[in-house]
Each structure stands twice: as C-alpha cells, then as structure tokens.
Structure 1
Amino acid sequence: MRLSILKYLAVATALLSLACNQKEKTLVSDGPMSQKKYLGYVDTRVGTAVSIADITVTEVEEPMGYVSPIVGNPSALTHWTPQTARWTDRVITVPVPYWYDQEKIQGFRGTRYPNGAVVGDWGPMSIMPMTGDVIIDADARASKFSHDSEVAKPHYYSVKLDDYDIKTEFTAASKTAFFQFTFPESKSSSVVFDGVYVPGYYKVIPERNEIEGYTVIAGHFKNHFVAKFDKKFETYNVDLLPNVVDQNLVPDGFKAKYYNNDKFEGEPAVVVNHSKLNYNWLKEPAEGVNADFFSVEYTAALVARHTGEHTFELTTKDGTRMYMDDEMVIDQWMYRATGTNTFKVNLTKGQQYKLRIEYYDGSSTTEMHLRCAEPVEPNPQLGPQMALKGADGNAVFVTFATKDQEKVKMKVGTSLIDIEQARANMDEEFPNFDFTKAVEKGADVWEKELNMIQVEGSEEDKAIFYTALTKCFVNPRNLNENGRYFSPFDYQVHEGGQMYTDLSLWDTFRSLHPLWVIVKPEETTDVINGMLNAYEEGGWIPKWPNPWYRSIMMGTHGDAVIADAYVKGIRGFDTELAFKAMLKNATEKGNRGFSGRVGIEYFNDIGYVPTDIFGFYGEPVARTLEFSYDDYCIAQMAKALGKDEYYDDFMERSKRYINVLDEETGLVRGKKLNGEWLPPFDKSISVWAQGTDHDTEVYYKNHTLLVPHDIPGLSNFMGGDDKLIEYLDDFFEQDMYYVGDEFSMHAPYMYNSVGAPWRTQRVVRDMLAKYFFNDVGGLPGNDDCGQVSSWYVFGAMGFYPALPGTPVYEICSPIFNKAQINVGNGKVFTVVAKNNSKENAYIQSATLNGEPYNSSQLHHDAIIQGGELIFEMGPEPNMKWGLVR
C-alpha cells in the first residue's frame, strides 16, 4: 500500500509540474475564442530585481518593479508570497516582501502589500516551517534557498528550504492559502506563525488541528485567520509578549513634546504627559497636533525593579530612534519602516536610567508601543497553557514528528470580519485537503484571466506580455466576503455592496483602469461602487486607499476613473452621487484624515498652488497640473450627464495649468503666492527634483508634458506643433524619458496629436524593446499595482488610452502579429499587423472592418463592437498615414 501511495504522489507531482510549465495549448472553446494555456509563459519573479535596462532615473528613485511572486486569485483579499525581508533599506525604504538578490527566506507571507507600490503592507502574517529548535526571530530562522528550486506562478509557488530540507508548496484563492510541506525525518518539525511587524492574538485548538487568531491593524480593526492542519499537534506554544512599560517602571510617566513638522523644528506645538506608550492613532495623537507629518520626543526616567538582562520591544510606524542614558540603542530612522525593534541591556535594581524616544510620522496612522521583558524566570508551562486559552504573543507554533518525505498539509483562511468568517472562507474555498485539485482550480482561474487577450508573436514577447498581464489583475483588492465587507472607512461590517482598496489611483487611472474597462467592465462597475461606498462611509472618494485614506500623491484621480468609465459606457452606479463626490474633490479642502486636493483653496482663488505655501513635499506645480486635468475629467462627466453649466466652468478650470508654464524657460516653474517665479530649476519645487542638476532638469522636462488634456494649448505655449515636436525629439533623444515616471507616460503618444504619428510608432516600439524583458530585472520601474505593466500591454497591442476621460485611444506600432481581445457579449476585437517584424515598425496603411483607415486614433466603440483593425507594416515611415484626427 505504501508503495502505491508514493507512486501516486510522484505522478501527481509530475502532473503538477507539467501544468505549471506547459506553454500555449488550445483547450476546449469557452466563449468567442478557443481557450489556450498561457500560464507556462508567466514568471511572477519578473520585476523583483533592479532593471537590466539602461534607464534614466534620478537619485531619489530606483528602477525596479517592487513586486513579489504573488500567489492568489485576482484582486484577492489576501495574497501569499515568500518573504525574504520584513523591510529593506534601499533607495526608498519599503516593506516589499521579496527581493530576488536576497539569499534567504524568512517565511511565507499572507500579504496585502499593493504589488509594485511604495506604501504599506497592512495586516500581514507570516508562516515558517522548520525542523529542530523553534526559532521565532525572522532573521535568525531564515533558510537559504536556490532560485533554481523555485516555481513562481500566479496560482502556485514552490521552493526548497535548504537549511531545513523542507519543500514548501502553496496555492491560494481569494481569502485562503493552501500549503503542502514535505518534511524530512524529524522528531521536531514545526510551523511558526507571526504578525511580521506587530504582535498578535493566538489560540491553539488541538482537538480540531487548528490555530486561530488575529493581528490588530492600526488599532482599529483586525486581520483574522484560521489555520487547519491534516496532522495532529504533539506540542504547541505561544511566545508571550513582555509587559507594557508603565508606571511600574517609569513612575513619572513619559513627557511628550509634539512638533507640527517631521523635523523637530521650532517650538513644540503640544506638550503632554503619557503614563505609558501603548497607542494606535488613526488621526492626531493629541489635540493640536497634525494628523500627519509630525515629530515627537518622549522622555522618561526608568527605575529598574530587577537586576539582570532586560529585553525592550518598540513597535512603531515610520522613523524612530531610542536612547538609553543618551546612547542610541535603536536606529530605525526611515519613512514607512513599520516594525518591532528589540534591544537587550543589563540593568541594576533600583538604579535610574534616562529613556528618550524620537519618532516622526509620515502619513496615515501611527503606532507607538513600548514593552519590556524583565529578568524574571518564566514558567515553562505558561506558554502552552495560554495557547489553549488564547493569548497575545509575538508568535505561535505547533510541533510534530515527521517521517522522511512526509507531506503535511495546511489551509489558512483569512477575514477582516471575524474568526468565524475566516473559517467559513477557508471551508468554502478549499473544503478538503486535496492539494493537486486546489492547484488545478487556481490554474483555471488564471487561464481564464489570461485568455481575455490572445496574442501571436515570438515566444519571448508572449512571456513578457502574459507576465505583465498577470500583474494587471493582482490589485485592486476586493474586500467582499460572502456578501459582506468590512469598511476601512467607518470600521463597520456592511451587508451587500462592494468595497475595494489598494487602488493606486494616482498611477492606475492612466492605463490599468482603462484596460479593465475593456476586459472587465462588470468589475469596473464594482470598483466604482466601492469608491462611492467609501465616499458615503468616509466622506470622500479615496485617492490612494491602503486600506483607508492615505494622504499621499497629488490630484483626486478617482475623478478620472469614474469619468473614463462613464464616457465609455460603463453603467450600474449612481451617477448623481458620483458627480457630487467629484465636485466635492474640486471645491472643498480635505478633512477627517483625508488630504484631498492639497492647496485647492489657492487653486480656486488664484489659479495655481503656490510654492511658498506648499513647497517640496507639497508638489505645488504637479498639483496645479493634475488639478487641471481632473477638472477636465469632471467637465467630460458633466457633458455626458447633460450638465452644461458645469461643463463650461470646468473646461475653463482645466486651462489653469498655463499658470505654472514659464515663457522664459519654456518649462513648468514654481510660482509664489505673490506671483513671483522661483529661480529656474529650483530644487525646492519637489522632493523628486533632488539629486544632480541633470536629475532636476529631467524632473522639469517630464512635468512640462503633464497636459494630456490640452496638447493644442501646450503646443501653442511652445510656439506651435513643430516646436513641440522638436521638444519631444530632444526629450527622447537625450534620454530624459523615464518610462516608470507616471507624469509623462503619455508622452510618446503626443506625436499623434501634432501631425507626426510615425514618430509615436518608432518611439513606443523602441521603448517596449529597450525596457521590458522576460527577466527578474525585466520591469523598468515601480509597477504600482499594474500601471507599468498595463502601459506595456496596451503598447504591445498597438493602442493606448493617452487621455482617460475621453473614449479614444492613440494608435502605435503593435509588436504582435495578431492580438485578439474578448470584449464581451460574444464579440472579439482583433488587431493584425501584416509583414510585422522588428525592422518593419512603421504603419504603411490600415483598414478597419475592411474599410480604409487613416486615423491615428481609435474610438472605444470600435473596440467594444468587435471587428478587425489590420495594419500593413514596413521598414520606413509613411508620413502621410494617420493624419486624420
């Protein structure tokens, strides 16, 4: 019997490997196009290393994707990924879970990090299998691994943990992960759970082979989980938390000096006393203190109650330093460096020690927890006893003996609602312990996603394309749990309705959401309804929810997403409510922790955002440009709704970008409240204008093009179309374009608007070849929830939504011989490039549904109605084609 089981497992493993690596193969027809297998082309590690391309990038950025090998359904509540680091000190400090250049795996993270972005990972948890003595600390327990042992697909990941000789495989649905660990022979095989950055609550239920618990997210809601094994536990334990440092150790409490800036500048705005540091602040930490970008110094006199080694734990967000007797013992002075830092020190009973904690807050919520484990002999039975009752701890673990090559399976359900919902999610998504079927189920989900667009071309190009397409569907994150959702905006559970978060709207309005309009129109409606629910529950359309309002980035580009969807025929949402919310963005200052359009009162009064009021972090010039564009989108929505008076008003407002264009330099330029210009190329204009003088010039040149809604107006400012063409030619020839910089992503397509579409064809084709590769360094910049990937997807197909808010696309040069898009209702839109090759990059002529076509624009209706756009390609530009607008 044992031999037959081993044979069965060997066959199953072989079939699983085949399913993960098999490339294109036609399957049974499902809809208007015969379904094919594309998962074999996908490697989710693409973008996890620094770009291999020669990229123009300033000193304040880094050309890499900031993505991880994510596993889980599209828009999953929780994705899962290997964790090589809790955070990494790179050019920008970010809590990206996985970095290709790191040599060890610390665990496998249930993550809500927005893939490719530079924000926070909210409510993560980590799981680590091991043998031998249990090690809680993530760095200490980390195991070496080889990339050769990895399989990284959107539905399946596998790796060998070399230090423990454990093969780990997992798949995941929307709310549940399914692990299969292959252990060596060991008397002590374990699985450890922790909250990555914060402690958690854990309870072991041995009679059900379960662990349940939660971590607290910013003190306002919880990430609940239930883990169920197919093997009984022999032992279990909770690594209990130290006590909070309170008046028992600091009799006089903590004196807190709060500053309304993040640099301790000037006099304190507020001075108060805290009896302990054990707080979560959603907004301001004290009356009179800013909700964001404040700094604080806590001082206290600690009197030791025991002699011996004390272990301190300090949990914070953003930058923190801790001193004891003026000696720095913790140095974590980094933006968004969420985590728990520890240090150990020998103290003497009765002796007094000076404590000082410095902290600065960036944006969003704030945490401050200081705990201390005193040198008191612990009760070895307390951990296991508390594990059965349920207790707060740094981690929980279960242990069992394993035979050689024994497979232990484990499912982990998650929920934002409660533990019972987490269990229900687990039971619904993976009702049994059949791992092979679970992997096949995940593969089916992703094959259907990838089959929405079928392309014909080289194998290398298809690998780049389908890996990019995969990244387009990871976020935004759907919070719906069986007809209910927990709202991060009012902290209530709502019946029915929709809620999405991790929308990188500042980035994704440009091409990710327009892609969804074409291939996911129904879910686009759901996303917009989720945005409107956030408006009703929190007062505003979110502009970068992660998961609640974040006061980051410029503009309120939910306006663009809604307008673009509506003018392209997306319905099923309350348009009057949406328009009301859009008007609020354009007319009112933000409140309740939402920054809105920072400087809107000045924009509406004097026509721009002044640099001496909102400099550096305030991005005043970019705000002026983006507010103008958002107002253009509001105007398009008003026109579509028949609100002519609003249309006229907001079209006038959309011209205000001209107020920050300087005739002397021919570029954008910061302007003070009194109308005085900043010096040319003044670095104080923005944090992104720092670095070398060349970096600063690149910033100015890119930002000057941020007028997608009025290219004729920009052309007129520069002296005519020929001058704008000259500007663009120099811009690209001097290698000033950074494809990862969203400000100018539309720039290659601007040639279409000024009578030189052949230049768009050449530039886009060159960029696709220069910057994107089937390689771990194959992404040219932060993917930002699929924005860079969607930029590639559109360009590779031959058209791009250069002006969201209007139902037109700009045509470029497709790299594929054929691309078919399932646009729904049994219809397919096909782009064919005849005589296509790397050399034949120029459109010679075109037909649309058999009729001659001489426009460099493509209307949305032509796509949605289905049909065929055929290009004849050649090696030389046809300067007469595409001049019709």
Structure 2
Amino acid sequence: MIITRNSLLIFILLFNCALAQKKNKAVAEVDAVNPLIGTPAKGKGGTMPSVGPPFAMTNFTAQTRENKMKAMPYIYEDSTIHGFIGTHQPTVWMGDYGYVSVMPQAGKLAVLPEQRKMKFSHKEETAKAYYYAVKMHDKQGGSVNAEMAAAERCGMMRFTYPASKESHLIIQGINVNMAEDDFHNKSNKRSKLKGYIYIDTLNQEISGYNPDRTAYNLGPELPNFKGYFVLKFNRKIKNYGVWTPEAIVKNETEIYGKRIGAYISFPTKKNEVLTVKIATSFISLEQARENLSREIPDWNFDDVVQTTRNKWQKNLERIKIDGVTTDQRSIFYTAMYHTMLFPREFSEYGRYYSAFDDQVHKGISYNDYSLWDTFRALHPLFIFTQPERVNDMISSMLQMYKEGGWLPMWPNPAETNIMIGTHADAVIADAYVKGFRGYDLNLAYEAMRKNALVPPDHDTKSWGYDRQEWTGFEGRTGLSYYHSLGYVPSDKTAESVSRTLEYALDDYCIAQVAKGLNKTDDYKKLMKWSENYKNLYNEKTGFMEPKKYNGNWGGDTKLSFTEGSPWTYLFCVMQDIPGMINMMGGKEKFAAKLDQNFEGGHYAHNNEPGHHYAYLYNYCGQPWKTEELVRKHTRENYLNQPEGINGNDDCGQMSAWYIFSVMGFYPVTPGSGMYALGAPQFPALTMTFNIDNRLRKLEIKANHLSEENKYVQSVTFNGKLLATPFISHQELAEGGELVFAMTNKPQLHEK
C-alpha cells in the first residue's frame, strides 16, 4: 500500500481488517474481493478494477490504454498508466460514453496519452472495491502516488507529487481518436462529435461535456446526449491552459473539439498532495454540481472510502459462506462484486436522461443491460441478492419501451441491437412468476406482446448481421418468417438457427405472463410458437440445422449461429426440456449426446448459450453427472488470480453462474419458477434476503463434503426429503434449511 502523509485511511483499513479477523476469523467479505480478477486481455474477462458503490452510474478506474470496443480502459498486462477515468464502458465488447479522465504529472508538460503515460508495477498497486492506489514512475526517475475513491456519480482522487518546480494535472474531456484501429471508426460517424471544456478561475472549477459514444454507429442520433463533468480542487487555479493534439495554449480558458483537454500547473514540495473531486451527470452541469454536493460535500477522502466500503459490505454479507479456503472466499466475493456492477444506475436523484427519446424525465432508471447474457443467471440471482432493485430495473426497461417503442436488447445507453432475441421478456416473466409486481404490469405485457407479435422495421429486408449499423430497432428480425414458416430461414436472415431457438424461448416466457393474466388465446398461441425449435432439428444428423426459405436444409453454418456452432446450440431449449429429450430419442440417447458434448470438448463455458447444459442430466435420470460437472467447472473456470475468469464476465453472468452453482441450485428455465439442483461446493452458506418487507434466511449445508465426497446422496428441505433433483422458488423464497448429504459414490438413480 502506498504511504502518504495522511495515514488515517491506512489505519481505518487495517483496523477494520483486524476487527473482522477477530470477530469472524476471516477478513470481511468486502476485503475478500479481488477486483483484478478478470482484467487481463489474455483471459478475456472484460472486467476492470473500478471503485465505487454497487451499481454506480460512473465507474472510476486507472486507465492503461485508450479504451474502445475490443479494449477496456484497464488491461492487467499493460505496464503504464496515462489517466484515471470516469468511464461508462460496461464490458470489452461494448462502448464507452460520456467519459472524462485526469492524470498527474511532474516535470515538462506533455498532454497526449502516449506522452503523459507513466510506468507502474502491480507490486505497488492496491485494488479494492472501494479504494485504489498505485505508485507511478516517470522517465526522469520521479514518482507520483495516486489514490482513488468514489461514490455513485462522483469520484475523488488524491495525488502525491514529488518536489518539482513544475507539476501538473491534465484533464481529458473527450478522445475521439479516428486514428485508432477500431472498426466502429470506419463509418466516420464519430468524427463529427465535439466536446467542450471551460476553466472557471472565478469559481475555481473546470467543467465541460463529452458527447462521445464509441458505439455511435450502432445506435440512433442523439443531439442532446452529453456526459457532463465538473472538477474541483483543494487548491486555487493559477496557471492553466487548454490543449489539442496540435497545440498547448497557455492561459486560454475554453476549448471545443473532438480530442481535447485542459491542464493546471503548480510547483510542488516533496509529498505535496492535490485532491480532485470529479462530478458526472447526463442531465446538466447543474445536476453534476448537485450530485457532488450530495455525494462528496467536503474534502474528506477517507470518509468517501469508508462510506463506499460500508455499502459494499452491507450488500456482500447478504450471503455468508463458511468452511472455505482463502482462495474460495476471494473467488466467491469477487463474483458477488461483479454481479453488483450492472445494469448501472442511470438516474440522478429523481430524474434521468433517456437515450431512447433524447429527453430528461422524472423517475428511477438503470442502463447497460447485457440481456442476452444476463437473463440466464444474473437477473434470477437479483431476486435473492437485490430484491429491492428488481422492480425498478423492470420499470426502467418499460420506460425505454415508452420512450423508444420497444423493450431494450442491449442499451449502451441507447439501443444498439447487439446480440439477438428479446430477452427482456425472460427477465420480466421470471420476476413476475416469482411474485414481483412493483411495476406497470399491463404496460409490461403490452411491451412483451409487441415483441412476440409485431415484426420490427425492415423485418424481411434486413439481414441482421452482428453489429450492423443503425437503421432502426432490430428486435426479432425475421419474425414474419418465424410466424409463417415456423422458423427463421437461413437465406433471409443472419443467425437464423439461434434466432429461431431464442424467439421460441421468449415466447414461452411471455406465455407464462399471459397465463397469469388470463390471456388464454395469447397463451395458446405463444406456447405453440414456443415449440418452433422442433422445426430446425434434423433427425438424420441429430443437430439443429439451418433451413432455407423453400424448406430445404442448408445455409452457411457459421452465419446461422450466434457466437457458436451446432454443438453450442444443440441443447439450448430451456423451455421444453422433456420435449427436446423426446425429440432426440429419449433419455438414454439424450444423455449419450450430452456425454459427447462434454467429453468431446464441445462445451465452452466461456460463452453463455451452454450455461445450463451441465444441469440437463437432471432431466434424463443421471444427476450425478451434473454434480461432477459443477465441481469441475466451478474450479477450472474461476481462480483467485488476474486471469481468473475463463471468458468475458459479460456484466456479471459468468459470476452469477458461479454463485448459483456453488450454492447447489440453478435457474435453468426462466419463467418456470423452478431450480435444478446441483451440488454445493462449500460446507455451509447462509443467504439473507428481504422480500415483501419480510426478512428471510436460507441456510444451505453440504454434510460430509470433501474432495472425495462430491456426489449428492440425498437432499432435504426443512426436513422433508426431496424426491427429484428440483426445487421450486416458492419453497426457497420462504427460507429455511436446504441440506445436501454428500457421498463419494454416484447415486445411480434419480434423487
């Protein structure tokens, strides 16, 4: 940890850690989090060591490179830092927007990222969910210490300088770098974007706005979109200027352009500290200032650290684990941390900017929903870990429907049409079936029904390829064919097999809401469509295959699947698993095909379509194989090291799979209200949750769990023996005791 003259922070951290060890014989849950897990480019985890409370609107992190779609701001393998950025980039395959960054410097002023970068070592770096610190070294042998903390919409940084006649803080307000090798720059649309910075020497602040969206070509035009920022300092602004790539202009107070910044300069004594507060807003500069006054009203850095730490601890301790190793503890609570980052809060104390109609509204808002990924496990996990947010997250999607005409697919912050399907349907249906009603239910059904029945613009004219430039909402492209033919044809629409299968799942989910609302005709129609997956199963080959408009098999296999192959999507039918098993020849043949999938190396845990596959053995009488695979993949794909996530975490989905799997149950079918059992990986776990203003506790025990005892002999819930490897949400939501008796031999029968 970096030592500064202000030792209060260090004392607080050490005291809390010592207290936690004394009370719990383990570090507090929040201090078990390792934000560096998932940050290397090699592991493709797509995470960053950001600081800030759960679901923060703005993430503050060290910046090791110019981020873009394909690169996060922080990459573990990098050896230099060129800024500390307030970013809104949710994951490596999605864009940043409305960002702002700062960078300390001693010596001759150099403003561009490649000029101002300084070397650092992970040995001189501390990364916590609530605090980040690093020591950076320049080419002249000098060093600057940086510390960072954050609230929901505002950050606070403390830079400790060396003795220097000339020290600086460089501010970058926008970075539209068209020279960057990014295929989203090739349309040249971003080149027209320009930001603004103003140095106010009277009020001692630097403010501005940034209209950049690095995924600009994927969404609609948004004339009013801006990421506003206000910076305040604990010293007066005396020497200052602005800059562009072409020039540094001293004593100038304004700059307007697409790659611009400002700076302040001052002499420093050894260990002199500059503290910076950064406020962000998507509404206005005035709102940014209000956010700052609410969240960081004074200059007490340590208070910000402690407040954010307390928020994380309160959220993380909702699941307590016992009998685990230090590594298991760190892996688990880092996974929890990753599940509490997205979707991000997007409202600002009762108001929010909507990128769906480019206006400001009253209300609560969330954004950056990676729905193709997160409908599977993340949103079902929120039912237990974040029940107070579930209704607001659904209401936020309904607001997007009202303001833009459709439920979102992948907003960033505007719709981008990324991935396929309309899986907001699955998220809403799952919450509905599990008893959540704190949103406009009639509006929700209207929006879901539109997804199922109304073809989007350009439905039969658009090929719908991945990351296609914006021409309108894509939604269920090929829906007209899906209705008339019973499938999406491979010679008319991209990713046709995956689309057919996922549209069928979403139809099932909507049908469950229709059933609950007594919409009998809709229910029957939707359930019939939910069986459309059968139209693409080729009995001769034993795979889901592309089919042309004329009804003949055929089509480009690679282009007919989303991020995968015929193996990737063979078992993707979640909504009718018994029907899928019968279609494939019965339980024995189905299990044999599953064996081929796992034993033949076809299963890819690093991508989401197969995340439920390990649990399918429960449905064909071989639950012990599920238990083996849960043990295998919770260990192989999750490690307590930087390259500790096998594949992109995708806004918490990979981590949510891990949490469910080590607990011993998994939500295979959204909207069903049922969980498939697996095998718990910890001796004891207690989950506390509050639903309908009633605090409940679910205790999960794995009796006799050991390296050898990885199989489940029997399961009881509140003393009652479970006859099958399934349990309902209704039972678990009441709380109680779920006890697994573990053994060293597979139980060769259905539990």
| TM-score above 0.5, yes or no | yes
Partner-residue secondary structure (3-state), 1:150: strand
Maintained 8 Å contact 1:109/1:125: yes
Is 1:463 the counterpart of 2:330 in the alignment?
yes
Partner-residue secondary structure (3-state), 1:190: strand
Partner-residue secondary structure (3-state), 2:251: helix
Q: How far, CA to CA, are the matches of 1:827 and 1:688 in structure 2?
A: 40
Partner-residue secondary structure (3-state), 1:826: strand
TM-score, length of structure 1 as denominator length: 0.77
Shift of 1:195: 3.3
1:705 corresponding residue in structure 2: 571
The C-alpha deviation readout for 1:735-794, integer Å capped at 9, x for no partner, is 211112211110000011111111111111111111110010100111110000101011
Q: How far, CA to CA, are the matches of 1:16 and 1:161 in structure 2?
A: 24
2:191 corresponding residue in structure 1: none
Maintained 8 Å contact 1:22/1:40: no
Partner-residue secondary structure (3-state), 2:597: helix
Maintained 8 Å contact 1:811/1:858: yes
1:657 corresponding residue in structure 2: 533
User: Bigger shift: 817-826 or 848-857?
Assistant: 848-857
1:648 corresponding residue in structure 2: 524
1:314 corresponding residue in structure 2: none
Q: How far, CA to CA, are the matches of 1:472 and 1:432 in structure 2?
A: 30
Q: Which structure has the greater CA radius of gyration? A: 1
Which residue of 158, 161, 174 corresponds with 2:136? 161
Which residue of 418, 428, 440 corresponds with 2:306? 440
1:43 corresponding residue in structure 2: 34
User: Bigger shift: 581-590 or 561-570?
Assistant: 581-590
Partner-residue secondary structure (3-state), 1:431: coil
2:340 corresponding residue in structure 1: 473
Is 1:15 the counterpart of 2:19 in the alignment?
no
Matches within 5 A, 1:546-695: 546-591=412-457, 593-614=472-493, 618-678=494-554, 682-686=557-561, 688=563
2:705 corresponding residue in structure 1: 836
Q: Aligned AA for 1:208?
A: N
Shift of 1:13: 4.1
Partner-residue secondary structure (3-state), 1:130: strand
Maintained 8 Å contact 1:159/1:168: yes
The C-alpha deviation readout for 1:214-273, integer Å capped at 9, x for no partner, is 1113553100011110012231111158xxxxxxxxxxxxxxxxxxxxxxxxxxxxxxxx
Shift of 1:161: 1.1
Maintained 8 Å contact 1:178/1:411: yes
Maintained 8 Å contact 1:23/1:41: no
Shift of 1:10: 5.1
1:111 corresponding residue in structure 2: 87
Is 1:200 the counterpart of 2:207 in the alignment?
no
Q: How far, CA to CA, are the matches of 1:478 and 1:216 in structure 2?
A: 19
Q: Aligned AA for 1:563?
A: A
Which residue of 480, 487, 491 corresponds with 2:354? 487
> Whose RCO is larger (CA < 8 A, sep 6+)?
1
2:206 corresponding residue in structure 1: 211
Shift of 1:196: 4.9
Q: Aligned AA for 2:120?
A: F
Matches within 5 A, 1:132-151: 132-151=107-126
Q: Structure 1 residues 197, 735: closer, same or farther in 2, change over 3 A?
A: same
Shift of 1:20: 8.2
Is 1:527 the counterpart of 2:396 in the alignment?
no
Q: How far, CA to CA, are the matches of 1:20 and 1:81 in structure 2?
A: 24
Q: How far, CA to CA, are the matches of 2:270 and 2:569 in structure 1?
A: 60
Partner-residue secondary structure (3-state), 2:740: strand
Which residue of 525, 540, 545 corresponds with 2:406? 540
Partner-residue secondary structure (3-state), 1:523: helix
The C-alpha deviation readout for 1:790-823, integer Å capped at 9, x for no partner, is 0101101111111111111111111111111112
Q: Structure 1 residues 516, 458: closer, same or farther in 2, change over 3 A?
A: same
Q: Structure 1 residues 385, 767: closer, same or farther in 2, change over 3 A?
A: closer
Partner-residue secondary structure (3-state), 2:569: helix
2:670 corresponding residue in structure 1: 804
Maintained 8 Å contact 1:82/1:109: yes
Q: Structure 1 residues 196, 48: closer, same or farther in 2, change over 3 A?
A: farther
Matches within 5 A, 1:34-113: 37-49=28-40, 63-87=43-67, 94-113=70-89
Maintained 8 Å contact 2:175/2:258: no
Q: Structure 1 residues 663, 881: closer, same or farther in 2, change over 3 A?
A: closer
Q: How far, CA to CA, are the matches of 2:15 and 2:443 in structure 1?
A: 46
Shift of 1:881: 5.0
User: Bigger shift: 69-78 or 777-786?
Assistant: 69-78
Q: Aligned AA for 1:643?
A: K
- Alignment coverage as a number of residue pairs: 704
1:179 corresponding residue in structure 2: 157
1:292 corresponding residue in structure 2: none
Which residue of 723, 733, 737 corresponds with 1:854? 723
Q: Structure 1 residues 26, 581: closer, same or farther in 2, change over 3 A?
A: farther
Q: Structure 1 residues 602, 20: closer, same or farther in 2, change over 3 A?
A: farther
Maintained 8 Å contact 2:173/2:196: no
2:167 corresponding residue in structure 1: 189
Shift of 1:472: 0.1
Q: Structure 1 residues 832, 559: closer, same or farther in 2, change over 3 A?
A: same
Q: Aligned AA for 1:77?
A: M
Maintained 8 Å contact 2:41/2:75: no
Shift of 1:522: 2.1
Shift of 1:719: 0.7
The C-alpha deviation readout for 1:152-199, integer Å capped at 9, x for no partner, is 111111111111511111111110001011111112211111135335
User: Bigger shift: 844-853 or 405-414?
Assistant: 844-853
Is 1:428 the counterpart of 2:294 in the alignment?
yes
- RMSD over aligned CA atoms reads 2.3
Shift of 1:442: 0.8
User: Bigger shift: 592-601 or 446-455?
Assistant: 592-601
Partner-residue secondary structure (3-state), 1:195: strand
Q: How far, CA to CA, are the matches of 2:127 and 2:366 in structure 1?
A: 26
1:749 corresponding residue in structure 2: 615
Q: How far, CA to CA, are the matches of 1:10 and 1:418 in structure 2?
A: 34
Matches within 5 A, 1:369-408: 383-387=250-254, 394-408=260-274
Residue identity (%): 39
Which residue of 622, 626, 629 corresponds with 1:763? 629
Q: Aligned AA for 1:14?
A: I
Q: How far, CA to CA, are the matches of 1:536 and 1:461 in structure 2?
A: 44
Shift of 1:851: 2.1
Which residue of 241, 257, 263 corresponds with 1:237? 241
Partner-residue secondary structure (3-state), 1:722: helix
Shift of 1:701: 0.9
Which residue of 74, 81, 106 corresponds with 1:131? 106
Q: Aligned AA for 1:826?
A: L
Maintained 8 Å contact 1:628/1:655: yes
Shift of 1:846: 2.0
Q: How far, CA to CA, are the matches of 2:31 and 2:387 in structure 1?
A: 27
User: Bigger shift: 851-860 or 453-462?
Assistant: 851-860
Shift of 1:103: 1.0
